């Protein structure tokens, strides 16, 4: 069972992504629990303020240290987290290896940033891991959190119907997945490769492996180490 708590200022953005398909099944099977905590509940004053101007001047607000630390500490009273993750474009770029590693944990806390980001002191003293989902800037960390939870959640044993199917995903062995086909075997004269209809398992596996190699060489040569 993996529990993921997510701190957000827009919790609404994180309701639908976990209510469908594989994430829904993971939660229904009690393999994955996702809780979204509204940071505004820890905001300061009548306006429940969570952001403020940055010291030194400059455009853009900063998420304040006090609400964040109060929120983190109220959560750590009940849960010992394996990682406290901050989603930020200057974090380590998410890849399948990191997803595999995180899927083995039991408790994760994920913090979604907004505005110019969070007070650096939170990063220095509370955050244990910083993750980016790619070299582009989102308006907030929530969509990145949805991607992180989805990519980790589907790896939990028992979530996917066919236990082996996550093993044949692209990237699991530094190769892209081979092409797939379904019925009909011919559509408007466009045919499925004969080998896939042959029933010859060994040859099919060989074809898939070679297709993976060729695709990876063509599209993502950077994945191939040797």
Using CB under 6 A as the criterion, which residues of the chain lie in contact with ligand ADE when the complex forms? Answer: 87-89, 113, 132-134, 136-138, 141, 144
Name which of 129, 130, 143, 109 is nearest 35 in CA terms: 109
Token digits for 127? 């955050």
CB of 150 closer than 8 Å to CB of 23: yes
Q: How far is the CB of 146 from ligand ADE (least distance, A)?
A: 11
Q: How far is the CB of 131 from ligand ADE (least distance, A)?
A: 6
Nearer to ligand ADE, 14 or 87 (CB): 87
Nearer to ligand ADE, 18 or 86 (CB): 86
Contacts of 202 (CB under 8 A, 6+ apart): none
Nearer to ligand ADE, 110 or 156 (CB): 110
CB of 140 closer than 8 Å to CB of 112: yes
Q: What is the dihedral of CA 1, 29, 132, 169, to 10 degrees?
A: 110
Q: How far is the CB of 135 from ligand ADE (least distance, A)?
A: 7
Nearer to ligand ADE, 85 or 175 (CB): 85
Name which of 88, 72, 87, 163 is nearest 126 in CA terms: 72
Nearer to ligand ADE, 65 or 129 (CB): 129
Q: How far is the CB of 49 from ligand ADE (least distance, A)?
A: 21
Nearer to ligand ADE, 131 or 175 (CB): 131
Q: How far is the CB of 57 from ligand ADE (least distance, A)?
A: 23
Token digits for 57? 């001047």
CB of 212 closer than 8 Å to CB of 176: yes
Beta bridge partners of 111: 7, 86
Beta bridge partners of 174: none
Q: How far is the CB of 148 from ligand ADE (least distance, A)?
A: 8
């Amino acid at each position: 069972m993996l529990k993921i708590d997510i701190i957000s200022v827009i919790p609404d953005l994180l309701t639908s992504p976990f209510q469908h398909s594989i994430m829904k099944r993971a939660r229904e099977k009690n393999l994955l629990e996702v809780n979204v905590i509204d940071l505004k509940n820890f905001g300061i004053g009548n306006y429940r303020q969570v952001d403020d101007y940055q010291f030194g001047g400059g455009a853009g607000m900063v998420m304040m240290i006090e609400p964040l630390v109060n929120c983190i500490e109220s959560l750590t009273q009940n849960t010992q987290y394996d990682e406290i993750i901050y989603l930020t474009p200057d974090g380590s770029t998410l890849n399948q290896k990191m997803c595999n590693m995180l899927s083995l944990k039991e408790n994760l806390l994920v913090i979604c940033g907004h505005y110019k980001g969070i007070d650096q002191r939170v990063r220095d003293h509370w955050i244990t891991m910083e993750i980016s989902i790619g070299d582009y800037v989102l308006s907030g960390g929530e969509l990145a959190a949805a991607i992180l939870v989805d990519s980790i959640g589907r790896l939990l044993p028992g979530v996917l119907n066919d236990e082996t199917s996550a093993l044949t995903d692209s990237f699991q062995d530094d190769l892209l997945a081979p092409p797939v086909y379904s019925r009909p075997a011919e559509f408007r004269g466009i045919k499925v490769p004969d080998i896939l209809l042959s029933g010859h398992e060994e040859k099919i596996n060989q074809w898939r492996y070679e297709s993976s190699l060729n695709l990876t060489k063509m599209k993502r040569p950077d994945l191939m180490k040797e």
